[in-house]
Amino acid sequence: MARFLFAGTLVFGVAAALVSFAIADGGVLPEVRAFAPGLPAVLVAVPAVAVAVTTGLFRVWPYLLILVVAAGVTVAYALEPGWPLVVTGLALLLGGAWLFARFLRSNPRQASDA
């Protein structure tokens, strides 16, 4: 299963690179070129799906959903391509802060540990 996911991710990455080169050369329709700003978020999401499935870390799925939705919003509103990554990074930061706060609440520091 892991080999299949790795091979699929590799094939998708090569295909996405070829599409990116075709878009950059200007040899495609303007309708296809409109999807280019969402491509970085999709390129981050696809390998992350493979990692989430092979490792069983289903905690990653909400972040992947944020990436895909942010990519769609980026394409729909013609935003800069970096915004989906920034939004997902903020979600990761807030999720990490929440997990850290939960850890500190469940493991209070003892006075003798100072």
C-alpha pair distances (Å), 36 with each of 10, 47, 58, 101, 107: 19, 18, 28, 38, 46
Distance, in Å, from the CA atom of 48 to the CA atom of 10, rounded to the nearest integer, reads: 12
Question: Model-level pTM greater than 0.85?
Answer: no
Per residue in 71-93, pLDDT tens?
889 988 988 989 999 999 999 99
Between 34 and 32, residue with greater pLDDT:
34
**Domain segments of the chain as ranges:** 2-107
Comparing CA positions, the residue from 10, 63, 16 lying closest to residue 40 is 16
Residue 90: the pLDDT is: 95
